[in-house]
């Protein structure tokens, strides 16, 4: 079991996908689960500051994670409907921090995440996996990068998906999200005390994967 935490666009998904394919592990992106609840709240016109309604929504929703596609991460379905393509929308981006800080939402999602972990042989991505969700995970990684570098990466990712957004707007939202995630009372964004922290600013994807693979004791490929 490998726990990989870090802020938005620090490289978690790319690293997790590469390792999951190499090792034959299941990939669980918990951030997408919170985005799925956010998407449903917006669709149902639930106020993202209504904690009671958001908790009820999270407790009642069925979220299913599929296997990674040939390009991109795992698919995700809400109550049987594939919503993967809709979870990176600007509206979800703006609202997900409000939804994910609600205690009832986090309880519901963490319970589901721990159920998935019981099956073993998985890589779980998020912001509080090593510190809260799976504190006993044998391998804990925290990926980080500067806000400017993360904004550049997210801008490129969105452009490749056909989403036209300015890098300046993305940077402003990332910085706001970072502040909210670090300051929230429940499960703040921070490395677990025993996590290996990797600054990915000046590293290639292959170099980051090599470091995580080494920490997990997995043999190098190639």
Query: What digits encode the pLDDT tens for the residues 182-220?
Result: 887 778 889 999 999 999 999 999 999 999 999 998 766
- Please report which confidence band the pLDDT of residue 71 belongs to, taking 50, 70 and 90 as the band edges: low
CA 101 to chain centroid = 14
Q: How far apart are CA 94 and CA 28, in angstroms?
A: 22
Residue 163 has a pLDDT of 82
Averaged pLDDT for residues 1-28: 93
Averaged pLDDT for residues 121-148: 95
Higher pLDDT, 147 or 71: 147
Instruction: Report the SS3 class of residue 127.
Output: coil
Least confident range from 112-121, 134-143, 196-205: namely 112-121
Q: What is the pLDDT of residues 167-188, one digit of tens each?
A: 999 999 899 888 888 887 778 8
pLDDT of residue 44 exceeding 60, the answer is: yes
Nearest Cα to Cα of residue 69 among 3, 21, 6: 21
Mean pLDDT of the chain: 91
Dump the DSSP string for 11-36.
Answer: SHHHHHHHHHHHHT-EEEEHHHHHHH
Q: Which domains are delineated in the chain? A: 2-215 (3.40.50.300)
Q: What is the pLDDT of residues 77-105, one digit of tens each?
A: 999 999 998 998 889 988 998 999 899 99
- The vertex-189 CA angle with 185 and 195, nearest 5°, equals 130
Nearest Cα to Cα of residue 115 among 55, 190, 65, 41: 65
């Amino acid at each position: 079991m490998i726990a990989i935490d870090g802020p938005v666009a620090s490289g978690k998904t790319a690293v997790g996908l590469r390792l999951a394919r190499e090792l034959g592990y299941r990939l669980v992106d918990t951030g997408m689960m919170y985005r799925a609840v956010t998407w449903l709240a917006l669709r149902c016109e639930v106020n993202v500051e209504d904690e009671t309604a958001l908790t009820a929504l999270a407790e009642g929703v069925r979220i299913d994670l599929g296997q990674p596609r040939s390009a991109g991460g795992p698919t995700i379905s809400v109550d049987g409907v594939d919503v993967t393509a809709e979870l990176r929308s600007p509206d979800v981006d703006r609202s997900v921090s409000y939804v994910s800080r609600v205690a009832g939402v986090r309880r519901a999602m963490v319970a589901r995440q721990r159920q998935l972990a019981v099956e073993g042989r998985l890589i779980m991505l998020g912001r509080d996996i090593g510190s809260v969700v799976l504190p006993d995970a044998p391998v804990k990684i925290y990926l980080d990068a500067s806000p400017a570098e993360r904004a550049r990466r997210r801008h490129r990712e969105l452009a490749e998906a056909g989403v036209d957004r300015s890098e300046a707007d993305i940077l402003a939202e990332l910085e706001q999200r970072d502040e909210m995630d670090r300051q929230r009372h429940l499960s703040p964004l921070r490395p677990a005390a025993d996590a290996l922290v990797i600054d990915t600013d000046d590293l290639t994807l292959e170099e980051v994967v090599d470091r995580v693979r080494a920490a997990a004791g997995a043999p190098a490929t190639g």
